Amino acid sequence: MSITEHDIVIIGAGVAGLTAGALLAERGFKVALVTKGEPTACLSTGCVDVCSHDGNPLQSIKNLPPEHPYHLVDKRMIRESLNYFQTAMTDMGVPYKGSPEQNRLIMSALGTFKTSCLVPSTMEAAPQDDQESLHIITFQGLKDFYPGYIVSRRNHTKFSVFDAGMTTTMSLASRFEEKDFFEKFIAWMGTLDIREDKIAFPAVLGLESADKIVGTIAKVTGKPVFEIPTIPPSMPGRRLFNALKGFFRKKGGDIYWSWPVTGIEKTGDIIEAVTTPSEGRPNSINGKAFILSSGSFVGGGLTATRQSIMENVFHFPVHVPGPRETWFDNDYFSMNHGIGRVGIVTDASLRPADTPFKNIFVCGGILAETEILKNGCGHGLALATAHLAAKSCVEYLVP
């Protein structure tokens, strides 16, 4: 067995794991992040939803049910976690706009509005109502964006089509990183006579340089420009993940990529290592403290069978509100599906409930009672609980 020693081992490379990792690495701990693969953040709009029930996200958190894990994190820490995120992302060249005190709207690919809080700078100019006229730029044959949905909903909306010879968001985004292509594109933009108030794009404007690309187009056209997130693969989600990953590495953290955790080693109430299979011999990653941020079902942290729901790494007890019939409501759109409440219940320091272990903390989407879709609280909750998990780790290691 090959053994690697770390202070802290984090399982899962989503927004929660990478954030907790960066915080701990920054404090001088030796941090290992073990991941099976890309997180669900890559599938997301890239926006940080904090709590979407009313205009002020921090206020609306107060009205969440008492069992919601947001209530474990104090308000100051939630605000701090959002500020820390904005600073980090600006540092990494993927700036986010918005304030923790004020929700804002982004436009969806159906032309509807989605409530969020911190949004990538490329979505800052999204209209906040139906007033402004839009000119949509789309791409010939693009599979995941149909301007008709938006044009038919809004008055005074036009669209133009550019033929880039690419039909997926990913291939278009990488073309936008090429100088020659971008110049050609800008020249084509110059031939359009755009009279509308704002210019909208499907979110394909680059992989790393989206902020600059949007800035350049806005400058050339003299109009505010914004992106509309697409269905997965989502470029803003990928930019978010890449920037957070870069930030974690910059702080000195190690990532073990494509390493699914398949076993653990423990003595009494202390977890000592996680093990992962590899060619030849298994790897053991030893740590003094652990963070579980492996996500919910899509992320791979939880698995449902016909009979039960399991946590995949440590086999921690999972809170399940009822038998299989109750996991899903009859009405698809009700957002009242019992499955949204499934997850790991913890104590105030995010230690998993009903387990003997002292040195593991849980954060992000795998937590119980989150109802992420209903409450509009995905990445926001991940950031807040990551800060708390990191704090609990430090308190455990340095009493």
Partner 1 sequence: MIKTDVIIIGGGATGCGIARDLALRGIPHCLVEKGHFAAGATGACHGLLHSGGRYAVTDPVAARECYEENLILRKIGKKCVEQTGGLFVRLPGDSKRFRELFLRGCENVGIPAEVISSTRALDLVPNLNPELEEAIRVPDCSIDPFRLCLLNIRTSEQCGGIILTRHKATEIIQSHGRCVGIKATDQTNGEIKEIQGKIIINATGAWADMVATLAGSEVPMSLVKGALVITNHRLTNMVINRLRHPSDGDIIVPNEAVCLAGTTALAIQDPDHLVIESPEVDTIISEAGRMIPHFNNTRIIRAFSGVRPLLKSKKADSHEMSRGFQIIDHENGMYSIAGGKLTTFRLMAEKMVDTIIASFGLRKPCETAEIPLDGQEELSGYPLSKRLADMKNIVCECELVTRQEVQRIVRQTGTRHVGDIQHRARLGMGPCQGGFCTFRALGIMNDMSVISPEQSMDMLRGFLQRRYKGIRYALWGDQLREEQLVEYIYLGILAMEKSK
* Nearest approach, Cβ of residue 110 and partner 1 (Å): 5
- The residue (of 172 and 360) whose beta carbon lies closer to partner 1 is 172
Residues 29-48 that bind partner 1 (CB under 8 A): 43-45
Please state whether 252 falls in left (phi above 0), alpha (psi between -120 and 50) or beta: left
Among candidate residues 360, 350, 336, 351, the one with its CA nearest the CA of residue 381:
350
Q: Counting runs of H as helices and runs of E as strands, what totals does the chain give?
A: 10, 19
- The residue (of 40 and 60) whose beta carbon lies closer to partner 1 is 40
Three-class secondary structure of residue 120 per DSSP = strand
* Nearest approach, Cβ of residue 24 and partner 1 (Å): 29
By the rule CB under 8 A, 298 interacts with partner 1: yes
**Residue 351 carries which DSSP code?**
P
Residues 50-89 that bind partner 1 (CB under 8 A): none
Among 144, 196, 197, 254, which residue sits at the site for partner 1 (rule: CB under 8 A)?
A: 144
H/E run at residue 88: helix 75-91
- The residue (of 53 and 251) whose beta carbon lies closer to partner 1 is 53
By the rule CB under 8 A, 310 interacts with partner 1: no
By the rule CB under 8 A, 303 interacts with partner 1: yes
Binding mask 267-296 toward partner 1 (x if CB under 8 A, else -) reads -----------------------------x
By the rule CB under 8 A, 304 interacts with partner 1: yes
* Stretch touching partner 1 by CB under 8 A, among 68-76, 103-111, 126-134, 263-271: 103-111
Burial of residue 219 (number of CB atoms within 10 Å: 0-12, 13-18, 19+):
exposed
Among candidate residues 116, 79, 77, 71, the one with its CA nearest the CA of residue 370:
71
Which residues 6+ apart lie within 8 Å of 102 measured at CB? 55, 56, 57, 117
**Residue 344 carries which DSSP code?**
B
Pairing of strands 134-139, 157-162: parallel
176-189 b/e (C-beta count within 10 Å ≥ 16 → b)? beeeebbeebeeeb
* Nearest approach, Cβ of residue 372 and partner 1 (Å): 8
* Nearest approach, Cβ of residue 153 and partner 1 (Å): 5
* Stretch touching partner 1 by CB under 8 A, among 10-18, 23-31, 73-81, 300-308: 300-308
- The residue (of 339 and 360) whose beta carbon lies closer to partner 1 is 339
Say how far apart CA 259 and CA 341 lie, in whole Å: 28
By the rule CB under 8 A, 169 interacts with partner 1: no
By the rule CB under 8 A, 113 interacts with partner 1: yes
Among 21, 127, 147, 253, which residue sits at the site for partner 1 (rule: CB under 8 A)?
A: 147
By the rule CB under 8 A, 181 interacts with partner 1: no
* Nearest approach, Cβ of residue 328 and partner 1 (Å): 5
By the rule CB under 8 A, 170 interacts with partner 1: no
* Nearest approach, Cβ of residue 238 and partner 1 (Å): 14
- The residue (of 267 and 332) whose beta carbon lies closer to partner 1 is 332
Please give the torsion angle defined by the CA atoms of residues 228, 230, 233 and 239, in that order, rounded to the nearest 10 degrees. Answer: 10
By the rule CB under 8 A, 190 interacts with partner 1: no
Given a contact cutoff of 8 angstroms between Cβ atoms, the answer to whether 126 and 106 are in contact is yes
Given a contact cutoff of 8 angstroms between Cβ atoms, the answer to whether 118 and 377 are in contact is no
Number of residues this chain uses to bind partner 1 (CB under 8 A): 46
By the rule CB under 8 A, 306 interacts with partner 1: yes
Given a contact cutoff of 8 angstroms between Cβ atoms, the answer to whether 274 and 290 are in contact is yes
Q: CB count, 10 Å around CB of 3? A: 10
Residues 229-258 that bind partner 1 (CB under 8 A): 229-232, 234
By the rule CB under 8 A, 163 interacts with partner 1: no
- Residue 119 amino acid letter: V
Instruction: Report the interface residues with partner 1, using CB under 8 A.
Output: 43-45, 108-114, 141, 143-149, 152-153, 167, 229-232, 234, 296-298, 303-306, 323-325, 327-328, 331-333, 335, 337, 339, 373, 378
